[in-house]
Structures are given as structure tokens and as C-alpha cells.
Structure 1
Amino acid sequence: MDIARTPATPDGNHEMADAAPSPQEPATIRREDYQPFAWLVPETRLDFDLGLESTRVRATLTVAPNDKVAPSPTIRLNGDGLQPASVKVDGEPTQSYVMDGDDLILTLPAGAHEIAIETEIQPASNSQLMGLYASNDMLCTQCEAEGFRRITFFPDRPDVLSTYTVRMRGPKAQLPVLLCNGNRVDTGEEGEMHWAEWHDPWPKPSYLFALVAGDLVARTNHFTTMSGRKVELNVYVREGDLPRTEHAMESLKRSMKWDEETFGREYDLDLFNIVAVSDFNMGAMENKGLNVFNTKYVLADPETATDGDFDGIEGVIGHEYFHNWSGNRITCRDWFQLSLKEGFTVLRDQLFSADMGSEPVKRIEDVRILRSVQFPEDSGPLAHPIRPDSYREINNFYTATVYNKGAEVIRMMRTMAGTERFREGTDLYFERHDGEAATCEDFVTSIEDGAGLDLKQFRLWYSQAGTPQVTARLTHEGQTARLELSQSVPPTPGQSDKKPMPIPLKIALFDRSSGSHRGEELVVLDEARRELTFEGFDAPPVLSINRTFSAPVTIDRDIPRDDLVFLAARDDDPFARYEAMQELMAGYLVAAAGGGLAEDQREAAVGDIAGAMRAVLTDGALDDLMRGELMMLPSQTYLAEQMLVADPGRIHEEREALKAQLGRRLREELHRLYDRAEQLPYSLDLAARGARKVKTQVLVLAAASDPEKAVELAAHQYDRADNMTDRQGALMVLAGTQSPERTTRLLDFYNRHRDNALVVDKWFALQASSLHPQVIEHVKSLADHAEFTLKNPNRVRSLYMAFAGNPHAFHDASGEGYRLIADLILELDPINPQTAARFVPPLGRWRRIESGRSALMREQLERIAAAPKLSRDTYEQVTRSLG
């Protein structure tokens, strides 16, 4: 599952829970208490009489005792808000069951049995968008992690694998397309009704069940697998959206080919269907053979989608397809193992996207996400290991730590093993555990055995939270350079003392005069302190470290500013060059925001930054995609993470001042770059995409240094744009200005695209994330707009998540930004608690913010915590954030 680039408590036989939790406060589930389920469910048959208002579900389960555990006279079938209309055992009605909360506990004689349960559900009133729900007159499901129990009573846990046969019946005029997992085996008509039967031959857990019924059309294609099987491919959408599905289809075909070539994985059904849904909590879901996607990650054309949207679609489609093996064929034993499928699959989609586009730019983008979302998570009250020891609400476990840091941990194994040996390890993993519910330990052991690595100490990455800090000190004497490395992992909630972990660091030492190095070296720092010596340096070399971001750590290298300028201009590793430029700017901005720079120090530092940026702007060997990355200033969130206590107001002021200085000092170079880039016609090739990227960065710097010229340029770009990337880039800059052009272009943008929900989402987000001084009032006004609704997660995120991610507005000194998000959480929680809970973490950073704002943030968290009938999702996030 993709968490929008981002479920249920197992029964008592699975995890032992603390006694008597309150309705708000869920029980604590512990990994050490895992027990296999006492019953096997080899076959499941589901019969649906479908309707938007009411759907009848008949579930028939074949069950047998699990001979690997002690026999149990009862079977616990999880439910959520269900009431059984009838219960039968071996064809006969029975009353030998009790309800334990939402769960049905049935007493069974010894041996195998057939259990039949009938339930009725109301999809149209399901605002949580979990289980079976209605979306724009169609029916669809979302079952990860614990949504299946909202459809029927079932042992809803990932280690119970079953083959599914599903018969769907519904009105053919209203629901002409009936889709489910696996292969379609039969269809028929009964007057105004029709039906379809589906069978999935591969055993799967209930969280991978999927059903879609609605008035849809498909873009159809085919893919021939490496063994010669022809697979039918379909992308289902609303009829008017069909022209915008070509990129999605081509992304799917590229994903299938890449997975065969890179990991040796072949698709295993006759059919692969994708369905785009407009109401969806996540980005997409990897249900076996029937992937359900948020429309955001399917629909694209140049008029409505940016370059980033095209990349996002390719990456998410790849991610969900790759889950077919890393998640479906091999699934998770329990939810503590979530990173087994998600971390591994994120790495796979990152490698795929890198191969499809610019590898260094993709690496930088991935690291930027890690630093802006996961690093703050690792240093805050919600910190947890990628495989935690306990959890309370599984919905809150779909985090950047599990996904993004999980991917980095597996990438480190790949770095230490090398590409070929890593492939041997993954081949062994797929061979050993195909058809099983596996653990993170199973994966690590397979890599260890297949790649020939000793990963005993490396397993600490799975159990220790926090971002390690590596200190690097380079000294020089005579012809010897000495590099002293040390590591520490800061305390996190529940983990005060940490052990040293293996940290693979790619390093190179540059000769200052020639600008070259003798070769890159991989050093694994696996102890608290280590010293390395390098001979043959007449002069002190320049250290390039953590090249390609070989480890998810922070580096304290106490490097002279001259060395950063050197690396920003000359490092041959693109990521290390980017890192030097970021460090050069971040060092200055953190010192300036902290009040630690005299005027002459400011002047010298800005001069060095401008010199390094000039080298970037004029380097003919650089492609524009990479140039655009090097032009970006560190984000305010990243800068705040570099400070023990951050003042968001000062950070914003200093960052805007630096943008203005760079814009003025580099005015000629920036405008030459813009004029050159403007000449390239629209296409999706890397050169044209790079041109669009640098044009936007020029506008960003111009807006700070010469607002009138920036408005003129941005309005000109908007009016001439023949694609969404240029139009949105221009409008982003205009949205932050107080100019007539802002008003006219925002109105034009809305009127031009008012019938396209995804582009209207952009319109909301552009205003909520702008630098306009009245952005808080704009957000309040937009919340009353006729097009705004709390029932669509995309629309909620477009306005309020964009606002919460806008430090300039969210951290307004009045505290009004904090109150705005708290009000949203309280209003949204009864409608969609999963989405509401995702707005808590920005408030949870209060400990790292200066005292005035900190008190205001905590006040809002306390107000939320005091609300009656708060969902378990939000309650857990708030109470942990308060500590």
C-alpha cells in the first residue's frame, strides 16, 4: 500500500493485550506475544448482493484445526460494527456463539467444518472509507489493515491465508462492471441484474481482498511475460477520464518488464486490473490482481498533470505492482513486520524510478522526503523502530519510518553486498518463503545466506529508533590524512541507551589542486569510534562522505566553508555535490537564525554561497534536472531540525533574505538561464523537464529579490504555458504576491479546470502553501468554498495538509495556524479518523519550537485530547505527542 507519497487489532489468539483499555485508549499489542491462529481457513467463498445503500454478504469459510498449535474449542471471527443475520455450521443454524465486543466467538466440535455467516452492510454511510464503501455511485473496498472485518466476520489477521471464490450480483444498469481479485471464471444475467464469479488461486490474507462495482470504462492492453504467457491489462476509470490513462498503462508495462529483468519476478495471473477511485484514504492498494488507486496516481496529461504528477504515477503504479511478490506472494506474519513488505517495496519502486529517469535526482528526491518527514519523526515523541515491539492502533503505524527508513535499511544491505549478491539474497528470499506469511527476520536471514553477509549486528537497525549521528574529523600531518569517525544514536521514547550499528559510508578524498580523487571507498562504521589513515597527501585533502547517501544518518564533519564551496562546485558524486550546497546554505541560515553571525561574517558567507551557486548556474556539464536541485534552498523544516530549539519566524525571515540576496547577486545568470530554458518545447524527456524545473527555481529567487519583475515573468509564463508544470510553477509564485495578477490568474486557473477534481485540489493547495501574508484568512475562506468537503481525503489534504506543511503560515506567532489544524482534527475525526490522525504530528513538534509558540501548540493538543468520543486513531497520536 502506498501512503499517498504513507487497519485492525488482531484477535486474542494473535497478540496479548493489556486488560481493560478505555474505548478511546486501545489495548497495547506486543510482538513478543504473537501466537499462530488456532484454525486454518484454506477456502473462503463470498456471495455479494450489491447495492449502494445496502449490500448483503454471505461468507462461507472452510476451517480446520492448525496442527502447529494447541487445539482450541472456539474460533474468534473479527467484526467491526457488524451483526450476524444468520450463522450456520456444516449447513445447520447454530446459536453456539457469543459476541465479544465486535467479534463473534463460535464454539466448534473437533475437526474440520464449514461456517456460513450472513451480514448486511451500508456502503453509502461508510465515511471512514474502510471496508466496502460507496464512492460517486460506485462500490469499492479498502481492507488493509483491518477493513475486511467491516465486510464480514473473519479471522482478520495477515497470517491467515485462504483461497477466495467470489460471486458478485448487482443491477447491471447502475453497476455494469463487476471486478474482484484473481481471474474471472463466469458471468451471467438475471433480468435487470447480472453477476460475475471470480477465483483467486493464490492463498492470501483478508487485507488483500478487493471488490469494485460501478459504471467504468477501461484502457486495455497486454503484456507477454518472460515465460511467454499473455496477460490482459486494464485501467478502469470514469468514461471522461479515459484519455488520461495512457501514462498509467505504460507505467504498468514498464514495471512488469523491469521486475522481470531486475528481480526475476514474473506475474502469475491471466489478468491485472487497476481501478481509479476518487475517495481514497491512501495512495493505492496492492490487492491481488485488482489494484485500487487514488485517481491522483492514475490520471495524467500535460494539460492537467505536472512533471511531478507523471513521476508519482509511475512510481506508485510500480510500487503496487511490485507488491505482487513483495507483499502478496510473500505477506506479513503480523503487522509488526509491515516494513517487510513496505520497506522492501519502497526500495524496489525507488530503484525502478531511478532507472526510468535521472538516478541522481531521484536519489536526492528520496532523501529530501526522508529528511523532511522521517527524520523529524525519529527525533520526536512518535519515534519508533522500523519493526517495533508494540503498537496500539495499527492505522497509526503506516509511517515514514516503516516505509522510507525501512527502504533505506534494505538499501544499506544492498550497498554492503553489491547489486549481484543482493539479487542472490532476494532470489533466496522469494524461493524460501513463497506462499508464506513471513517476518523481517526471514528476509534478513535470506540476504545474509544468499549474499554471504554477516548481519548479526545489522539487525539493530530493525529494533532501535532514532537517526544515528556520525561525527567525522579529518586531520593532516606530513603526507598522512587521518579520518576519525564516531557514531551515537540519540535517546527516543522507551529507548534511552543505544548500541553502535553498522553504518556503510561511501567516502572519497579529493586533492584540492587537481580537483580529483583516487577512488571511492566503502567504510562500514560498526563500532562507537574508528580511525582510518590515508597516505600520500602533500596537502590536506577535502572529504566527501556519505556519498549517494549510503546511510540514513546525519553527518557532523566540522568542515571549513571553503571545502564546502569546493565540493559544491566540483564533487563528481551528484548527491555529495547537492549535500555540500545544502550544508553550505544550512550552516549559514542556522547560524543567522540563531543570532550568531556578525555583519562581516554574514557578508562573507553569502558571498561564498553566491559563488557556489554561480558555478552551478554556469556549469555546462550539468543537466538542468540536477541544476534545479542544486538551486533549491534547504526547507524550513530541515533547518528547524538542525536546531535544538527553533524559531520558525526567524528561520523564515533569514531564508527569504538569503533568497533575495542570491536573486540580486545572480540576476544576470538567472535570467540567461531562464531565457535559455524557455526555448525548449514541451515534452516529457529529461532535458525539457529540467528546463521547466529551472524556470520555476528562477521565479522563486526572483520573487524574493525583485517582486515586480517576478510578477511580470510569472504572469507571462502562466499566460503562455502549454502544460500544467509551467502553469502551476508560475501560479505558485503569483499566489504569494499581493498583486492584481495573483487574483486574475487564480480565477482563470479555477474556471479553466473547475470540472477536474484533481486540478481543483492543486488550486486549493497552491493558496494554502503560499507565502502570502494573509494565507490563514485565505484558508478559512477556502474551507467555506462550495467545492470544499471533509468527506473527500484528497480535498482535505489539498487544503489543510498543504497549510500544515507551510511553516510561514502554520507557525504564525498568533497561534491561529495551530488552532486551525486543531479545529480540523476535531471536526474530521468523527467522519474519517484515519485521515484526522495524520494531522496531529505537526502539532507534536512543540518541544523543538521556541517557548511562545511551543505553549500555543501544546494548548491545542490538550484541547483535542479533552474532546469526548475521540477516535482511537487520533487519541493515540495526541496522547503520545503530549507525552
Structure 2
Amino acid sequence: MTDTSILVPDSPQPHTIHREDYLAPAFWIDTVELTFDLDPAKTRVLNKMRVRRNTAVGTDLPLRLDGEDLNLARVLVNGQGATFKMDNGQLVLSNLPVDESGFDLEIFTTCQPEKNTSLSGLYTSQGAFFTQCEAEGFRRITYFLDRPDVMSIYSVTLRADQALYPVLLSNGNLVEEGALEDGRHYAKWHDPFKKPSYLFALVAGKLVAREQRIIARNGKEHLLQVYVRPGDLEKTEHAMQSLIASIAWDEARFGLHLDLDRFMIVATSDFNMGAMENKGLNIFNTKYVLASQTTATDVDFANVESVVGHEYFHNWTGNRITCRDWFQLSLKEGLTVFRDQEFSMDMAGSDSARAVKRIEDVRLLRTNQFAEDAGPMAHPVRPDSYQEINNFYTLTIYEKGAEVVRMMHTLVGEAGFRKGITLYFERFDGQAVTCDDFAQAIADANPDSALHKLLPQFKLWYSQAGTPHVQATGLYDEMAQTYTLRLTQSLRPTPGQPDKQAAVIPVKLGLLTRSGQALPLQLQGEATEAQFERTLVLSEAQQTFTFVNLAQAPVPSLLRGFSAPVVLHQQLDEEELEVLLEHDSDPFNRWEASQRWAQQIMLNALRDGNDAPMLPERYLAALRKVLNDPLLDAAFKDLVLTLPTEGYIAEQLDVVNPQRIHAVRQTLLSQLASALKADWQRVWELHNDTGAYTPDAISTGRRALAGKALAMLTLDAMHSGDSVWPGKALQRFKDASNMTDRFNALAALVSARHPLAGNALALFYQLFKDNALVLDKWFQLQASAPGLQGDALTKVQQLMQHPDFTLKNPNRARSLIFGFTNANPAGFHRADGAGYQFWADQVIALDAINAQTAARLARAMDAWRKLDAPFQAQAQTALQRVAAHGKLSKDVREIIEKSLA
């Protein structure tokens, strides 16, 4: 082929895209035939498309194709040279054929994968080729209508040096492969299902695969493959078993089957995200594929299972039905997060283990997503505008979006939700649709439900930003034997949305006696038999619900299972919290009682200016009962005995002094360690022998509780001068047969700031210096330790000079830099502003390499306006310094400008 390259100029300056401006595409692309001649320095891409006009839009509009960092060599229309121009970063073709059957468009381009440090589009990593096309990476591969509502059938031919790239993969089914001249070879792939360009993928390199064939419920055989680099194959068994479990679960729970002959997972160490659900060829960060007991913790094993499930579930909720536009991102992400959460809970087994998973999900939501709702980047689950879509891969889209789906599930029930999902696929399979389309399908399948009756109002969850606050007050009438519950909701203004409307909020509740017995729940005027748990629907600014036939004043257990993503305000005294903690039948609210109690103690101390509060004996006694209760799972005990995080406490305050929050929490943590020392010792003796390693829920809980006990005993030893428990922690570190126990012991020494921590860290490095994922843990542990070996910032700056540190690898950058800025409030928030200046340096440096990673780091300063006076001015100075930098990406600039606005 003749290469007469045209160097396309850089992309234009960012502009704001509005949801209300959506227009259907002027053209459809029915088929795409891609041929790649893979070369790191210069990959050639031949793109042959069958294009036709969307006559519903018009017959005289030009075809505008997106492209970025491409060298354009040739454009042919029906085999003839075409007239085109470059306009604002797009390839524009006019005077195109008007034949209803369409026309053939051929585009030949080249790109430079080895220079693509953005990890978007086609890039190289450790001698192999990978792609990442969501959201707008395909335009870095070829000129295209790079938008999710243009769905096409793809055929792909890959050609490369066989010695360097023996494995050639793309979407769909392998239809042909063979040898070429000069030591090259080829592979042809065909995907029979229409997909948008963001789901395209290719992989080429020296890879090995774990393979397994399965027979689906419909009798069809499928080949499953997990590809990794040589040497990592032994760490793929858990990923394979998670994939098999995901396929079986989706068939059983929702009747959704695997629709391709094969399903492939490929792991790479250079990846901006956790994983990507490209049709039939999922590309994963190694962090969510590789797991062995010697290198991965229990959390890692759980994350692999969850992420493998998530990406597989996208095959239907995201791939078979995709988003009309990127404003509808939660259509696929929120729904699929809900599905992977349900999958993980079902895999956990027992009710208690399911509750542990639910608590962990809610902790993430309340600590991080609620903070997002309260900050400058607050946006609805379905945003109204954006400058850079990569900035909207947020917890609001994912986690809050999942809670919106969960509320639908609550309002229509399990059977009703299954009917709704079935109707959703009957209506929209193979289409690009909206969040409204999904909600309408669930409601239409359940015409008698509260969701159907209140659907227009319920959909405010998609359009209103912010976290609703619900105030609950109760009044017991002894004479009438009634209990009146008043619920009031409010939603604070957020950027661009000063006025809010009342939302539909399902409130699952129960009522308990002071001795912990469940009370019947019969509302005034009802003739139906009373229940012991029910769901109220709050749909007005204020509503009252009166329960009858109650012989005594109840203790309310509200928002069971966290039935809505709201902040609940209710006044509960110590006695009521104790009742809930000891007796509530809802495990979530038992845990919540412990959190509320601890939160009250911490907030009272902070508001009173008391940096050395005392834990009440009643609180300690209640925790002691939990710790020694033989009927409770170890994992649940671990959660109950964990104090609220510094970040969550900061969210409860209008003015935040991170140093004081840290001091108060550390004081209470030390008291918890000391006051329950005998109990911690007993827990250690009962749980420290975890036996042969398995990542099941019971074993995981035992290791978690043993690790908690060891950390508490080591912390107490630092204050008492006892050398026994630090010595035991060091010995545990050396002798452990699995990474969970080893890392828990190391973390116990580091968190206690014990002198033995330095030696343990050095030994840990020597043991695992050749394992990148384990080294990430090593970097992150040190970055998140407030006072390890002196000043935390100095330690982080020293680690940046370590030969194993690089900014170019997102995992490594996240482990050290994000570990400091996001997980070490006391180290990061310094009165002299040095932490903020360090942050500014790294945002600017990262932005020159990888804008997506830099933008995520920029979010560390979202809450700067809430900081107390010694910190706020310094934070503003750092933000202004980044804003003044002349070469910011649009990713980072959008976040910085919104933070300063």
C-alpha cells in the first residue's frame, strides 16, 4: 500500500456537551472490516465500512468521523478517491452517495502504539499490544463514528510477526488463522453481534492460557480462556472458577446465557481501569485476574471474583443492550454493579456472609460517593453535561446507580424484578437505549407496584444530584398504644441544581421491644395481618405513619439493609443503640448501631474541642458481647469492631480539621485496644490457626478477625511497652503460609509505628521484589501510614526515587501517590501546605503521561472548601497552581476548574 501520510493536528480545546442536545447519527455503519499490520512503531490499519445514511435525520448532511493522533494515508468511497477536509479534529466527507443501500468507505491510517502512554486506543505494554476503547479510544485506532449508538458487525484480521506475537485475539469467534511470508502470521475474527466501537478489542503478544470447556444449560459447548504472561498461569485458577460461576449464576438467576463460542479474559499490568467488557474479549488489569494464596489477600480473591463477574454480566447488560449516549452510562454500569453485588452475596452463602458483603458495599458508598455528592463534581446518576466523559466514570454512576436499581428491586420484589429484566431484553436486545427505557420496562412488568404508580417521580433519582437527608422522629402514645413515625426528606443544592424535588425513598423497617423482641407492624386503618418487617414508601417532603396495637414504646430499626442511599438522621440514646446492636434481626442495622454509637462519641469530642475523649463503659461492654458471641460470624465481628473512617467522620462536619479527626480516632482506637485486651487475646487464640488456605467466607472472616486482634494487641503494646505482641506479629509475618496473614501482621507493625516495622518492610521487599502486584501493596502500606519512620511526606518522596517506582504504570502510581493523598489524611493535610504542593507536582507530571490517571488524582482535592483555616488557603494555592499550568489535558482542567468555581 502507498503511504502518503497526512499528520492530523491535535484535538481541539474541550467544550461542554449537553444531554439535551442529543441528535441521532446522520449515518449508520452496518459492517466494519478491519485489517491490522501490527508494529509497535507504526501499525497500519485498513478500515473498510459499509455506510448508509440515516434518512430520518437528513439526506444532505456530511459524514463527520472522529479521529485522534492518527496519520491519514487514503480515503476511498466506492473504490474511488474522495474529497475530504479536516475540521475541528474530525474527518469530514461531503457529496456522498444517496443510495438507500449505502456505500463502501475505505480509510487507511497508521498510528504509533509504542508512544501511546495514555493507555487509550491501541498501545503496547511489555512487548504486547492491547486496546482500551471505552469511552472514546477507538478514534485513536481509525476514523469512525465513535459513539455508542452506532452499532456494527465487525470482522477483524490481525497480521504480525509470529515469533514476537504468537497470540492474536479479537472479538467474537476465530474463523481462520495461518502463516504468512517472512515469519509473519494472521488470524481472522468475526463477531456476529452488533456492537458499538467502544467494545472493540485486540490483543497480540506472547501469552499463555488456562482453558476450560463447559456445557451450558442449553447444551451448547463453550471454550473459556484466561490469557496471561508466561509465569503467571498458576495464578489464574480462581479467575477461571469465578468466570464459570458467573456464567452459571446468570443462567440461573436471570435466564441469560453465554452467546459466543468462546469467552476470553486477558490480563495486562498497564491498564487505566479495573477491567473492560469488550464483547467476548475482556481485557483486565492483572490486579483483578492473578491470585494465589502466597501473593494475594482475601480481599484480592474477593475482588477477582467480583470484577470477573461484573465484566461477564456486561455481556448482556451493556453489550447486548448498550447506551444510547454516554449520559446513559449508568444504564450499563449501575445495573451491572447491582448484578455483581447480588452475585457476590449469593456466592458468599450464609445470610451473615451476605450481610457482610452488603455492609462493605455501603461503607464504600457512604464514605466516598456521599463525599462526591457533597463536592464540586456532584452530578446526577444520569449527568446533564460533561467536557470529558472519562471524568464521569464515578462512584455516582456506578455505586449510586446500583442503589437506584436496588430500590427498584425493593419496590417490585425479586420475582417482579426478574419479570422486568425479561421484558427489558424482549424490548431492547441489540439496541442502544436510555436509563428511562430500563426503568419503564421494570415498571411496566409490575403494573400494580409502587414503582409503576410513582415512576415519573422515582426517575428523579436519575436527574437530581446530591444525597437526600431523611429526618426520623417517633412518638409513642401509651393510652392509644400507637407509635407515630414522622419522616421528613430534604436535598441540599448542588452545582447547577439549586432547587430539588422530593424523591421516592423506600424505607425498610422493623420495631423492637427494649428486650429485643420484634413487634407487629400494622398501620392505622389496615385490616391486613401484621408483619414484623415492611417497607414504607416516602414520596412527599413529610409523611407520618402510625402503627397500632403496640403495648410498649418501640425501638425503631429504620432503613434496614440500607434500603435507600440517604443520610438518616434520628436521635437514638445509648440504650436504644445497645438494643439494636445486641438484638436487631437485620445484620446491617446491628452493624449500623455500632457505627452510629462510635460516630456520636467522635463527633461530640470534635465539636467540644476534646482531643482525648473516653469511650463509655456501656459502649465497650456492648462491643465485648459482640466479640465473644459464639453465634456471630467472625467477619461480622470484625466490621462491628471497626471504628468509622476518618473520611466518613469528615463528611459529617461542616468544617474539617483532618489532624484533629486523626488524633481523636487514634485515641479511641488505643482505648479499644487496651480496654478489650483480654478479649483480643482470646480472639487471637481462637482464630489465629486458620488451617489450609481457602478463600471462602468463613475462612476469610476468621483471618480478618485474627488480623484485627493482632493489630489491636500490637497497638496496645506500643503504649504499654510490652514486647511480646510485636514479637508475635513479626513471627506471624515470617511464618505465614498465605498473603492475608502475612500482610495483616506487617500492617499491624506499620500501623502501630513499631520499630520492628522497618525490618519487616525490608524483608517483605526482598521476598516479593519480583512480583509487581505485591510490590504495589508494599508501596501503598507505607504511603498510607501517617507516621511511619518519621514524616509521611518525606517517606513518600523517598519511595518515589525507588528503582521499582514509575509514574507510567497506573497501578504503581495509584499505590504510592494515591495511597498518600487519598488514604493518609493526617500525612497529606499539613498546615504548611507541603502535601498539597506535592499533589500539584504529581498531577502535572502525571497529566503529561496519562490524563485519565492524573484526573483521578486531581479528585483528591474535591473537599478543599470544607477544610479549616490552616489548610484551606494552602489547598487553594495548590489548586490555582495546577490551573495556571499551560498544558493541562481537558480531563484535568475540567476537574480543577470545577473545584475552583
Task: Say whether the fold is shared (TM-score over 0.5).
Answer: yes
User: Quick one: distance in 1 between partners of 2:459 and 2:61?
Assistant: 38
Q: Distance in 1 between matches of 2:850 and 2:90?
A: 22
Q: 1:701 aligns with which of 712, 727, 738?
A: 712
2:442 aligns to what? 447
Partner of 2:474: 474
Letter of the 2:809 counterpart: N
How far apart are 1:860 and its partner, in Å?
Answer: 0.7
Specify which of 743, 746, 749 is matched with residue 734 of structure 1: 749
Number of the residue aligned with 1:676: 686
Q: Is 1:585–2:598 an aligned residue pair?
A: yes
Could you tell me which residue of structure 2 aligns to residue 797 of structure 1?
814
CA distance in 1, matches of 2:584, 2:876: 44
Deviation at 1:683, TM superposition (A): 2.6
Q: What's the CA shift string for 1:219-275, capped at 9, x where partnerless?
A: 000122221110100000011000000000000000000001111101111010100
Letter in 1 for 2:577: L
* Cα drift, residue 23 of structure 1: 7.7
Matches within 5 A, 1:277-292: 277-292=268-283
Describe the SS at the equivalent of 1:179. strand
| 1:807 paired to 2:825 | yes
Aligned equivalent of 2:768, options 741, 753, 770: 753
The corresponding residue for 2:258 is 267
**2:661 and 2:774 mapped to 1: Cα distance?**
31
2:186 aligns with one of 182, 190, 195: 195
Asked if the contact 2:12–2:89 (Cα under 8 Å) also holds between the matched residues in 1, the reply is no
- The alpha-carbon deviation at position 346 of structure 1 amounts to 0.4
> For residues 642-681 of structure 1, what are the structure 2 equivalents within 5 Å?
642-681=652-691
Whole-Å separation in 1 of the counterparts to 2:302 and 2:494: 35
1:479-538 CA-partner distances (Å, limit 9, x unpaired): 221111100011100111111001001111101135333311100110011111122333
Q: Given that residues 38 and 72 in structure 1 are in contact (C-alpha distance below 8 angstroms), is that contact kept between their aligned partners in structure 2? A: no
Partner of 2:529 in structure 1?
Answer: none
Q: SS in structure 1 opposite 2:862? A: helix
Query: Does the 8 Å CA contact 2:36/2:44 hold for their aligned counterparts?
Result: yes
Q: Give yes or no for the alignment of 1:744 onto 2:759.
A: yes
Match of 1:532, SS? strand
Q: Distance in 1 between matches of 2:859 and 2:758?
A: 33
* Structure 1 residue 313 corresponds to structure 2 residue 304: yes
8 Å Cα contact 2:270-2:285 kept in structure 1:
yes
Tell me whether 1:864 sits opposite 2:854 in the alignment. Answer: no
Please name the residue that 1:546 is paired with. Answer: 559
Amino acid at match of 1:175: Y
2:390 is the alignment partner of 1:395? yes
In the TM superposition, what are the counterparts of 1:213-362 in structure 2 within 5 Å? 213-357=204-348, 358-362=353-357
What secondary structure sits across from 1:842 in the alignment?
Answer: helix
Q: Distance in 2 between matches of 1:851 and 1:725?
A: 41
CA contact (8 A) 2:33 2:48 kept: yes
1:619 aligns with 2:629: yes
**Counterpart Cα distance in 2 of 1:836 and 1:396:** 11
Equivalent residue of 2:686, what SS?
Answer: helix
Distance 2:513 2:165 in 1: 69
Cα distance in 2 for partners of 1:514, 1:411 equals 28
Residue 879 (structure 1) aligned with residue 897 (structure 2): yes
Aligned to 2:587: 574
CA contact (8 A) 1:735 1:771 kept: no
Runs of 5+ unmatched residues, structure 1: 1-21
Q: Which AA in structure 2 matches 1:551?
A: A
The question of 1:776 aligning with 2:793 is answered yes
Partner secondary structure for residue 841 of structure 1: helix
Give the match for residue 487 of structure 1.
489
Equivalent pair of 1:510/1:544 in contact (CA under 8 Å): yes
- Seen in structure 2, the aligned counterparts of structure 1 residues 625 and 766 have a Cα distance that, compared at 3 Å, is same
CA distance in 2, matches of 1:457, 1:434: 27
Instruction: Report deviation, 1:102.
Output: 2.0
Aligned to 1:830: 848
CA gap of 1:189–1:167, structure 2 versus 1, over 3 A, is same
State whether structure 2 residue 68 is matched by structure 1 residue 80. yes
The CA distance in 2 between the partners of 1:285 and 1:738, in whole Å, is 39
Alignment counterpart, residue 172 of structure 1, candidates 145, 148, 162: 162
Q: Which range is displaced more, 561-570 or 856-865?
A: 561-570
Asked if the contact 1:73/1:110 (under 8 Å) is kept, the reply is: no
Conserved in 2, the CA contact under 8 Å of 1:364 and 1:575?
yes
Deviations 1:289-343 (A, max 9, x none): 0000000000000000000000000000000000000000001000000000000
The count of corresponding residues between Structure 1 and Structure 2 is: 858
Which amino acid counterpart does residue 859 of structure 1 have in structure 2? T
Look up the equivalent residue of 1:677 and give its one-letter code. H
The structure-2 alpha-carbon separation of the partners of 1:598 and 1:23, relative to structure 1 and needing over 3 Å to count, comes to closer
2:510 corresponds to which letter in structure 1?
A
- Check 1:426–1:469 CA distance in 2 against 1; reply closer, same or farther (3 A cut): same
AA in 2 matched with 1:85: A
2:672 corresponds to which letter in structure 1? L
Distance in 1 (alpha carbons) for counterparts of 2:500 and 2:703: 45
Is 2:724 the partner of 1:722?
A: no
Tell me which moved more, 279-288 or 517-526.
517-526
Query: Using a 3 Å threshold, how does the CA distance of structure 1 residues 696 and 441 change in structure 2: closer, same or farther?
Result: same
Q: 1-side partners of 2:650 and 2:254: how far apart?
A: 39
Report how far residue 73 of structure 1 moved: 4.0
Q: Is contact 2:634–2:705 with CA below 8 Å preserved after alignment? A: yes
Aligned to 2:484, what secondary structure does the other structure show? strand
Query: Separation in 2 of the partners of 1:463 and 1:100?
Result: 33
Q: CA deviation at 1:687?
A: 2.3
| Shift of residue 857, structure 1, vs aligned partner | 1.1
Partner of 1:69: 57
Q: 1:525 to 1:597 in 2, by over 3 A?
A: farther
Asked if residue 153 in structure 1 is aligned to residue 140 in structure 2, the reply is no
Whichever residue aligns with residue 654 of structure 1, its letter is: V
**Is the 1:843–1:858 Cα contact (8 Å) retained in structure 2?**
no
Task: Please say if 1:610 is aligned against 2:620.
Answer: yes
Classify the secondary structure of the residue corresponding to 1:878: helix
Contact 1:503 1:525 in 2 (8 A): yes
Shift of 1:710: 4.6
Secondary structure of 2:149's counterpart equals coil
Name which of structure 1's ranges 677-686 and 267-276 shifts more when overlaid on structure 2.
Answer: 677-686
The aligned amino acid for 2:200 is F
CA contact (8 A) 1:474 1:481 kept: yes
* Aligned equivalents of 1:325, 1:262: Cα separation in 2: 13
* 2:540 corresponds to: 527
Distance 2:831 2:740 in 1: 33
The partner residue of 1:41 within 29, 39, 56 is: 29
**Structure 1 residues 645-673: Cα deviation after superposition (integer angstroms, max 9, x where no partner):** 11111111110111111111111111100
Question: Identity percentage over the alignment?
Answer: 48
CA offsets, 1:96-142, max 9 Å, x none? 10001321001113121111111111110000000000000000100
Letter in 2 for 1:800: I
Deviations along 1:788-823, one digit per CA (max 9) or x if unpaired, are 111100000010111112112111333222222111
Structure 1 residues 25 and 640, CA, compared in 2 at 3 Å: closer, same or farther?
Answer: farther
1:713 aligns with 2:728: yes
Going from structure 1 to structure 2, the CA distance change for 1:24 and 1:812 (only over 3 Å counts) comes to farther
Instruction: State the 1:609 CA deviation.
Output: 2.1
Preserved CA contact (<8 Å) 2:711 2:745: no
Contact kept in structure 2, 1:24 and 1:870, CA below 8 Å = no
RMSD of aligned Cα (Å): 1.4
User: Which residue of structure 1 aligns with residue 508 of structure 2?
Assistant: 506
In 2, Cα distance between the equivalents of 1:485 and 1:106? Answer: 59
Amino acid at match of 1:456: P
Deviation at 1:596, TM superposition (A): 5.8
Of 733-742 and 807-816, deviating more is 733-742
Asked whether the 8 Å contact 2:168–2:186 carries over to 1, the reply is: yes
1:418-467 superposed Cα distances (whole Å, 9 cap, x missing partner)? 00001100110011000000101110110010122221210100000000
SS of residue paired to 1:256: helix
Alpha-carbon distance between aligned partners in 2 of 1:434 and 1:278, rounded to the nearest angstrom: 34
Residue equivalent to 1:104 = 91
Distance 1:742 1:24, change over 3 A: farther
- Cα distance in 1 between the residues matched to 2:421 and 2:543: 31
